[in-house]
Structure 1
Amino acid sequence: MRFLTYLTAFLLAAMPVIASAQRIKDVASIQGVRSNQLIGYGLVVGLPGTGEQSPFTEQSFRTMLSNFGISLDPNTKPKIKNVAAVAVHADLPAFIKPGQKIDVTVSSVGEASSLQGGTLLQTFLKGVDGKVYAVAQGSLVVSGFGAQGGDGSRIVVNTPTVGRIPNGAMVEQTVPSGFANGDTLTLNLHYPDFSTAKRLADTINERLGAQPEQGYAIATPIDAASVRVSAPRDVGQRVGFLAVLENFDFEPADAPARVVINSRTGTIVIGQDVRLLPAAITHGGLTVTIAENQQVSQPNALADGNTVVTTQSIVDVDLADSRMFKFQPGVTLDQLVRAVNEVGAAPGDLMAILEALRQAGALRGELVII
């Protein structure tokens, strides 16, 4: 079978595309309405001997005890193999309120071999401004595990040094949002495109009864990525306005002609608008096989001589059937796929063919290698 690793991608790309409308909420987001990243440093305790004895873990452990009024002799080195220093991070969703909970991810920062069975102690989660926005604490859920033998052999399944705490952080304060400010909102496209921005603005104006040609426009495209929309000042009315607006259907513009190649997996995806200029491609293979046969040569029984071993070399050259196919102007993706399938090119060969077409200026489309 040919193209088993990427035949599905080709077939899906080669299928005829039927224009379909999409909702505004699926292709754009509201400027300023986003999540914020939080991070903190804490300790996980209760580990079954899989913790660490690093200097910063010991220092953190001493600091924690001192906060509870317990002082350790500076010359005493505590044995804390059931404790691990961890980094804790989470995303603070937009509009979340104090008292609500969010999930957190806990990752070991030292030499702890596993966080399985551990409990995160109270950890402050801070934003980029240094303020505390949430407090995390709770038992970890770790999907991985590891085992080690006395001879040093070890097996690890998944990642036992990373865990999650569902609803593990309590939100303490919200992040200010400009959602209710001003007379307008800005919709940002996920994939900037001038044609899509124009169609988005036209759809909003048409559905809401605006007349841009008479100077009355509700939506105005700013650039390839943004559309400014007039919105009510009252927060309640603004929410209702967006609830209606984000469900409007419209047809985004076609994506740019593009060929995407994953050189690590051999996956190749070709967009529907890729075209080829007149070009001819040849594809073939040359196989050279060298075999060495040992032969024994013995002299006649009545003649003088010694038995010798001789080597006979056999060189076989196999020239595979070379095939050439020609592309006419404006060749479509479907014709390209059929041609390379008939030639029987392997993924690596097809990558070389596409690269050569681009270098020759015969590929009308962007070649992206990831």
Structure 2
Amino acid sequence: MANRVYVVGVGMTKFEKPGRREDWDYPRMAREAGTSALEDAGLGYDAVQQAYVGYVYGESTSGQRAVYELGMTGIPVVNVNNNCATGSTALYLAAEAIRGGRADCVLALGFEKMKPGSLASTYDDREQPLGNHLQALAEISEVLFPPAPWMFGAAGREHMQKYGTTAEHFAKIGEKNHRHSANNPYAQFQDVYSLDDILASRMIYDPLTKLQCSPTSDGSGAVLLASESFVDVNGLAERAVEIVGQAMTTDFRSTFDGSAKNIVGYDMTRQAALRVYEEAGLGPADFQVVELHDCFSANELLTYEALGLCAEGEGGHLIDAGDTTYGGRWVVNPSGGLISKGHPLGATGLAQCAELTWQLRGDANARQVPDVRAALQHNIGLGGAAVVTAYQRA
């Protein structure tokens, strides 16, 4: 039987526009987030037995250089890169080490130091990992560069054509997430915009305007995980949060079935969510708060359906009913999500975990969702990976 896994400490930096903070290189980011997580748990770095460190843009062994800011104890340090799901992949691997009995206290750390502007490939002398995805999408959609807004925008258009979803539905998601981030001191943006502001901002790929797209960001997040015996021995139960279900999937053959939504990860998410619900013994209605991967507003709507918050094709109805914000059935992305909190790729999944841990502890201040008993996390990376995690109060 697998060991139970608990979140005992979380920390993150404020997410920033690339280059905004002078002399803020990734070791400093990692020190800030990692120290906060250790202090949150009331532990020293010498308690950590393994570390999984995620980043997308950086040299080999940057993970070691990052954790050396916290201590140099000779523990295994594993570098993790899984596109935009890098942070949650580090979390998954750290949890697996505890589930399998290989360690009792593990650090998952993620960071990113990014360049301004749209994401671009680093190596142009070899096959691109998304080559098959782009080719499949080009067969059903006009081609636009940069690829990311095209891919998710095409999936949004497909939903509009099939189910009658409107540009206003997607814009309402942008309005909601910017409004939520106004209460998040860690968010890159804390400005509130009207629905008209969202619709009138610069068009990136119809129907996605600039205020519905996640920015490039610098920042770091850190999570300390522990086994049940470690929690008991160290008196950590009062503030511990249990991971009651977790699954990671990669692309299925259905990714290339001629559907834009599957090219951008819908089926990966759906299959991971089903596994989590079975493991946790929970369903969508049992969660009060959700942090999901809204790299673009279109993906948030698609993810409502992939996670089973509503039936396929009914994401627009969920938005119109106000069911994804305060006072609704769920509060989705109380942090502001990727759209407004920011998206430093290696840190995103760990920042989501931090937000949900604060929500479950009742420590989210102005963002606090009432009576949170269970929380759901979703993070994807194209090419591909999806990680879904369910949490409950310990």
Larger radius of gyration: 1
Bigger relative contact order (CA 8 A; separation at least 6): 2
**Same fold at TM > 0.5:** no
- Give the helix-richer structure, 1 or 2: 2
Give the TM-score, by structure 1 length: 0.19
Give the TM-score, by structure 2 length: 0.18
- Give the strand-richer structure, 1 or 2: 1
